[in-house]
Chain A
Amino acid sequence: MKLAATLLALLFCSPALADCPLDLGRGTGWVVFSNHYMLAFRSDPLRIEAGEPFALVLNVCTKAGRPAELVAVDAQMPEHRHGMNYRPTIVSGDNGRYRAEGLVFHMPGRWELTFDVRAGEETERLTHDIILK
């Protein structure tokens, strides 16, 4: 968590990202990179509980610091090869941020979040693991 906060702070200081701030407030969250994209997100509420609905607040940028589009969010448990019982919906909010509503991790264990992002023609899938106790 501290590492993620530090990354957020570093990214926020970068002049290239002035139009695409990855700081989502609240001093916490995760940052995910690929060759072309960066994505910052935090959960709402901040603590994810097994069986309880939560949302994700996200900001998606290209590596060049331009805003990118969030196309889809989903989650799976790779070990058990099942997904969630719920399908999140994505709402585009102010400041280029997105809010994905309706996620529920219905059991403890490793969940792999997947984010489909796009800028122009190029779509890419970013992933991030969360271990839920």
Chain B
Amino acid sequence: MTRIALLLVVALLAATSVGQAQQLLAWTADEVDSVRRHGPWPPPPVRDPSNRVSGTPSGALLGEHLFNDARLSGDGRISCATCHQAGREWSDGLARGQGNAELDRRTPTLWNVGYLHWFGWDGAGDSLWGQSIRPLLDPREMNGGPTRAARLLRSDPQLACGYEKAFGERPGDDDEKLLVDTGKALAAFQATLVSPRTSFDDFRDALVVGDRERAARYPLAAQRGLKLFIGTANCNLCHLGPRFTSGEFGDVGIPFFVRPGEVDSGRHGGLGRLATSPFNLLGKYNDDPTGVSARRTRHVQRQHTNFGEFRVPGLRQVGRGGPYMHNGSVLTLEDVVKHYSEVSPDRLHSDGTPIVRPLALTKEQSADLVSFLRTLDAEVPPRPAAPPLCP
């Protein structure tokens, strides 16, 4: 009886295995190579040479405490974590960010933010630490003013102790330097926010090594969607690499107007702000003596075509976020696919072969593309509270 049961189990397993093997679509060598380029995941930890506490545990710990500290805001109500919530994929679930006032753009997720090279929807920041200073000062966001961070670091014994551990000295008298160091600690923390591996990563790894059985566990609809993504839909022209973004900018046909008579100039305005920022990588606060970290900043050029361009977002955890696009104007992932399926070529005014064009997807293709995108999501365990700075 036991032997019969065992034989039945073996037969069942074999049948299951055959069934799974049949679920792998045919993948050409070029397609496998395209899929390969979206990994491996996770990437090596971030080490930003422009930030001397990047990649250090003491810098990241100080940053995590500051990230959750509402005393950095003008009215003591808003911390970084107010808008970048761990339980909401490091965003807020709102169409537009809500600080001291409602903003014109959506709060971007912080997942994998340390791997970017331009920051903010308009790329007005060229480092994560520089970008982290911006909301502290912006009257519409935290409205902290230029001296609040310094006063807090000097007056709070725990923060002062954490600062000394991270930076190797007690907080001094230079308010602007302490503001910059606050940004650097915040950046050290945010750079640790790396999204988990997903079922796509398992599929990608299996496909690359030729493990057909393991690859066949990936849902058929997702396989079809992935083929579209790297094939006729050409999504990977901009959503490329392990993070599914080039980190650069594009105009994907979302209206510029933020209110009647007023437009969001996107990258064009961002580059203007970058050039005049005292906290850009060409300034005195860059800790990188080689100058290599400032290469993009030194060579980037502001062009008329930058008008209305916004940063290409990464797609990991995309199905768990939303609303979508820089202004939160698209509510669901299904609507995002619909946008690219029906986008008006007239709005995109391209004089060459358009990079974004109406894909005219069938209902089934749209569903497949969404199925694929959802395999870039993974469950995230609850985040424990940060340990004390100086127990």
Contacts and interface: CB of A to CB of B under 8 A. Distances in A.
Contacts of A107: 237-238, 240, 246, 248, 355
A2 interface: no
A63 interface: no
A81 B303 CA distance: 14
Nearest to B248: A106
A89 interface: yes
Contact of A80 (B248, B296, B299, B355): B355
A50 interface: yes
* B interface: dominant SS: loop
A53 B300 CA distance: 11
A88 B299 contact: yes
A109 interface: yes
B255 to A, nearest CB: 21
Interface string B281-299: 0000000000000011011
Contacts of B237: 107-109
A79 B352 contact: yes
B240 A86 contact: no
B241 A101 contact: no
Given A50-B241, A107-B240, A108-B237, A79 B353 contact: yes
A101 B374 CA distance: 39
Contacts of A86: 296, 299-301
- For chain B, give the interface size range: 20 to 34
A85 B246 contact: no
A86 B249 CA distance: 12
Contacts of B240: 50-51, 107-108
B305 interface: yes
Interface residues of A, number: 23
A78 B351 CA distance: 11
Given A51-B248, A80-B350, A108-B240, A85 B355 contact: no
Contacts of A108: 236-237, 240
A27 interface: no
B102 interface: no
Nearest to B37: A133
B299 A89 contact: yes
A87 B301 contact: yes
Contacts of A104: 248, 296, 299
B353 A102 contact: no
Nearest to A77: B352
A65 B126 CA distance: 43
Contacts of A51: 240-241, 246-248
Interface string B226-246: 000000000011101100001
A116 B363 CA distance: 50
Contact of B33 (A77, A88, A103, A133): A133
Contact of B249 (A78, A80, A85, A101): A85
A26 interface: no
Nearest to A54: B295
5 contacts: A82-B352, A86-B301, A88-B299, A102-B296, A104-B296
Given A79-B353, A80-B352, 18 more contacts: A51-B240, A51-B246, A53-B295, A78-B352, A79-B352, A80-B353, A81-B350, A81-B351, A85-B248, A86-B296, A87-B299, A88-B299, A89-B299, A101-B299, A104-B296, A106-B248, A107-B240, A109-B237
